[in-house]
Amino acid sequence: MAIEKEVLKLRLTYEGPDVKDGSMSVEDIVPALQGFSSAYGKIVSRKGIESKHNIRVTAVEKGSFITLIEVWEWIGSNASQLQAVGAAVGGATGVVALILQAIQLKKHTKNQPYSEKVSHAPNGVSLISVTNSENVSIEVPVEAFTVFKEGLLDQDLSKIARPVEAQKIDSAKIVAEAGGWRGEESISLQDKPYFDLETVSITKTQEAWLVGRFNSLTKTTNKGSFILTDGTRVPYRLTNENPEDFYPFFIFKGTVKVRCIANMDENLKVSSLDIFEVQKMQSDIFDVRTKDEPEQEES
């Protein structure tokens, strides 16, 4: 029984002020890598591929995380499957191509209504033409459209996009190469809202006071991120009647305490805050602002 190995080189790159020195917060990059790995595994399972796939981080270069995906194809047992779909489509390149096409479709539709219709390429392969709210159309394979429409990778793509933030990280890019095939997609700061997901919490605490620092604020939505004393960055929203009363606390460089409802995830960790009162602390009890988390403001 012959064994054939396909190797795909993948580079996950983040660019922006926070990664100019080549470093990146572990809190950001670990979930992003987990998001890609999870997306990859879901596609492998969906396609029913039985070959062995190994995903390994092999190097870190200037904000880039280089990953090798090794695919071992057991030609003897999978011959009919590989002959039907082709080695490239059935292996790592086909899996990554679907992930990139899902990213492309989310950027194209922009969380707005869209229409689709079946079209046919010259080689007889069925494609879906997707027309967005701006009346711009792109064509993608039926399988890619189905993955996008079902939201199969939404949670995973959200993790890849999560580190992108104003004045910190400007974009995320995935570049994959294997043999003569090359695929690439990026998620810019402008694209980021199309990948954001509302956190689903399973319980809410009673009203509580928490201590930390405001890290970002979007005035149009009165949302942003808040850094707790353990360094965890969680999203928040201002829920009082006059949220603009809290804006001065954002530029305050010291520690604050907030009266809030803390939403918890399935691991009983704080996933988001509904803030309705803010007070300055008498003195800073911790300092979590580092070069990785400068003060910033979004308009």
pLDDT in tens, 51-76: 666 777 776 666 566 655 555 443 33
Residue 179 has pLDDT above 60, yes or no: yes
Q: Which residue has the higher pLDDT, 270 or 285?
A: 270
Q: Which residues pair with 235 in a beta bridge?
A: 225
Residue 165 has pLDDT above 80, yes or no: yes
Q: What is the pLDDT of residue 258?
A: 93
Cα 70 from Cα 44, distance rounded (Å): 13
Question: pLDDT-derived band of residue 194, with 50, 70 and 90 as boundaries?
Answer: very high
26: part of which helix (H) or strand (E)?
A: helix 26-47
Cα 175 from Cα 9, distance rounded (Å): 8
Cα 187 from Cα 164, distance rounded (Å): 8
pLDDT in tens, 65-106: 665 555 544 333 433 433 333 334 347 888 899 999 999 999
Best CA proximity match to 225, nearest among 14, 22, 25: 25
Highest mean pLDDT among 57-71, 228-242, 277-291: 228-242
Best CA proximity match to 18, nearest among 32, 4, 29: 29
Q: What is the pTM of this model?
A: 0.63
pLDDT in tens, 195-224: 987 655 556 677 889 999 888 888 778 888
Question: pLDDT-derived band of residue 12, with 50, 70 and 90 as boundaries?
Answer: confident
